[in-house]
Amino acid sequence: FEDEAGLVSTNADFPSFCHFFNKMKHAMLLSLLALACTVTPALSYFPEEKGILELNPSNYVAAVRQFPYLMVEFYAPWCPYCQTFAPKYEDAALRLTTTNSPAKLAKLDASRYATFAAQLKVQEYPTMYFYRQGHPLLYNGQMEIVPWFDGF
């Protein structure tokens, strides 16, 4: 058939145009995906139990970098003080989660990763470090940490 400009077009041209358009669309989507991967910092996955991140030497630094406010408990499962503190820490994690706080709670089994804990100067259980924008502060306050977090 002939259009107004006198150009002849056939239906045979239409499928090749659609194929070309689909290839361009896919190429553009792949380019955008690649760009998003380079611009957006990768967020690491951390296993959680009752709202508390479970850290180990492999993911510790990533957690400190990823979360602007991070409290880390270095504990030993056999420690009676850690066992007494655990329900309070879980309550604090629940409160922080329900209030959409930017603060996160984490724990690291210092008896399992003793060499790593020693490098961080952990000498007793529980030892608490609070990281604010990646900078550590030793927390040596009461076992009631939720009111302390309210200041952040």
Nearest residue to 128 (alpha-carbon basis) of 139, 137, 116: 139
CATH of domain 48-149: 3.40.30.10
Cα–Cα distance for residue pair 143/61, rounded to 1 Å: 25
Q: Taking the model in full, what pTM does it have?
A: 0.67
More confident residue, 134 or 18: 134
Per cent of the chain over pLDDT 70 is 62
SS3 state of residue 147: helix
Over residues 31-77, the pLDDT tens digits come to 444 444 433 345 567 999 999 999 999 999 999 999 999 999 999 99
Other CB atoms closer than 10 Å to residue 121's CB: what's the count?
A: 11
Other CB atoms closer than 10 Å to residue 116's CB: what's the count?
A: 17
Q: Which residue has the tokens 């210092």?
A: 110
